[in-house]
């Protein structure tokens, strides 16, 4: 579990370097907000399309070395990003990094569940908090390494990919041995009738949409909002983005134990709908109030994702990797689409107006009333 979380941290540190470089790319290439949104869209589209397919394939036929291979794609994409001097090369770089993400997330999430010892919420949150922590470090690295020393300094971070390859090679060996020990365990049947499962998954996807699009508005445009509204420097804005992402990491970790204690449905509903008062306040606060409020938003809204994955996996035992791939993939894809659309809105109006519109997204959390109480399967699944 610790090796998976650490690998997730290293993976997302590298992946977060591209968004952290957006102000640099915009200044050097005179990019519009729409073009910035397209960069996010390309990265998240490649990740989202492949993740469910890779997760489903791994459920049906385990691929022992897929984790270190996926990390190799991230390494290649980061190398290309260090030398990208044109808009098209930037898009190609983030597409390759997206492929690495598509390979890593569903399989690593499946292995995390196998290593959970029955504490599925804690396992998912520990795995995901590594990624959140990595995402929060990325803006700091950009502010104090990439911005002062230039784009080529990104190349130094490829060493992180090599460390992650070593960790994931050892994790893959453990999972092969663990899976061999569990071949005798019978597969579990569905926990709910198929129509109920389909309807519930659809509700979860709509709720996920509200979460990831709001987070996309922060990840892609928060630095620009702070610069335009409060006239801070790029480095100061990157530090404030780090503060928000650190709160996201803390909320992600808390979401897992809360899921194990109170149930996934309670955490999902409380996270999505509970953040609404804070998002409504954000566009109307001063600088200090914005920073404090953003911490509250990060803590609350991030606790839902672990609960969503656990909830959906309990509904569909036997498809652990496919479910993880679906939700990780949709989080990337919906976030990418949202970033592009919000970029168009920002170009035509203003960054401030974007946050006034996005403030109402968490109201979608009212759909949580439609979620049935999950009934965990009575037997473990051998392929986990």
Q: What is the pLDDT of residue 180?
A: 63
In contact, 363 and 275? CB cutoff 8 Å = no
CA distances from 185 to 110, 235, 275, 318, 380 (A): 17, 53, 41, 12, 7
Packing angle, helices 234-262 and 287-301, rounded to 10: 30
Identify the CA nearest to 342 among candidates 351, 329, 330: 351
In contact, 67 and 104? CB cutoff 8 Å = yes
Say how far apart CA 342 and CA 351 lie, in whole Å: 9
> What pTM, to 2 d.p., does this model score?
0.70
Fold of 2-370: Growth Hormone; Chain: A; (1.20.1250)
Q: How many CB atoms are closer than 10 A to CB 379? A: 11
Instruction: Spell out the domain ranges in the chain.
Output: 2-370
* DSSP three-state, residue 190: coil
Say how far apart CA 106 and CA 329 lie, in whole Å: 9
Q: What is the pLDDT of residue 296?
A: 95
Q: What is the pLDDT of residue 380?
A: 40
In the chain, count H helices and then E strands: 16, 0
In contact, 109 and 124? CB cutoff 8 Å = yes
Say how far apart CA 362 and CA 350 lie, in whole Å: 21
In contact, 336 and 215? CB cutoff 8 Å = no
In contact, 383 and 62? CB cutoff 8 Å = yes
Q: What is the pLDDT of residue 293?
A: 95
384 residues of the chain, pLDDT tens digit each: 888 888 888 888 887 777 777 777 888 888 888 888 888 788 877 877 778 878 777 777 767 678 888 888 988 998 898 888 899 999 999 999 888 888 888 888 888 888 877 788 888 888 888 877 777 777 677 677 777 776 778 888 888 888 988 899 888 888 777 766 665 444 455 556 778 888 889 999 999 999 989 998 888 889 889 998 999 888 888 888 888 988 888 888 888 888 888 888 889 988 999 999 999 999 999 999 999 999 999 999 988 888 888 888 888 777 777 787 888 778 777 877 888 788 889 889 988 899 999 999 999 989 888 888 755 444 444 445
Structure tokens at 331: 């989080």
């Amino acid at each position: 579990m610790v090796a998976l979380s650490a690998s997730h941290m290293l993976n997302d540190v590298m992946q977060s370097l591209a968004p952290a470089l957006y102000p640099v790319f915009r200044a050097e290439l005179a990019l519009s907000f729409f073009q910035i949104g397209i960069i996010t869209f390309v990265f998240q589209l490649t990740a989202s399309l492949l993740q469910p397919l890779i997760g489903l394939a791994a459920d049906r036929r385990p691929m022992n070395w897929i984790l270190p291979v996926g990390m190799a794609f991230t390494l290649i994409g980061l190398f290309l990003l260090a030398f990208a001097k044109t808009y098209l090369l930037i898009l190609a770089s983030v597409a390759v990094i997206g492929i690495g993400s598509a390979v890593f997330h569903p399989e690593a999430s499946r292995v995390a569940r196998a290593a959970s010892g029955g504490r599925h919420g804690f396992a998912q949150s520990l795995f995901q908090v590594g990624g959140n922590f990595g995402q929060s470090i990325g803006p700091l690295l950009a502010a104090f390494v990439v911005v002062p020393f230039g784009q080529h300094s990104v190349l130094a971070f490829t060493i992180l990919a090599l460390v992650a390859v070593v960790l994931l090679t050892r994790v893959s060996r453990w999972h092969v041995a663990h899976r061999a020990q569990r071949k005798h365990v019978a597969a579990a049947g569905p926990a709910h009738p198929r129509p109920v499962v389909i309807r519930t998954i659809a509700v979860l996807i709509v709720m996920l949409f509200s979460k990831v699009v709001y987070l996309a508005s922060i990840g892609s445009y928060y630095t620009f909002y702070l610069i335009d509204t409060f006239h801070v420097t790029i480095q100061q804005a990157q530090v404030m983005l780090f503060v928000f992402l650190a709160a996201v990491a803390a909320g992600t970790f808390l979401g897992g134990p809360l899921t194990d204690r109170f149930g996934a449905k309670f955490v999902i509903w409380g996270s999505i709908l509970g953040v609404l008062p804070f998002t409504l306040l954000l566009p109307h606060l001063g600088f200090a109030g914005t920073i404090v409020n953003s911490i509250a938003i990060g803590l609350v809204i991030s606790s839902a994702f672990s609960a969503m994955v656990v909830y959906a996996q309990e509904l569909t035992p036997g498809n652990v990797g496919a479910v993880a791939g679906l939700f990780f993939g949709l989080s990337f894809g919906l976030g990418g689409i949202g970033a592009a659309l919000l970029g168009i809105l920002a170009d035509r109006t203003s960054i401030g107006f974007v946050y006034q519109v996005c403030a109402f997204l968490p109201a979608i959390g009212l759909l949580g009333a439609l979620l049935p109480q999950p009934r965990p399967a009575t037997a473990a699944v051998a392929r986990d």
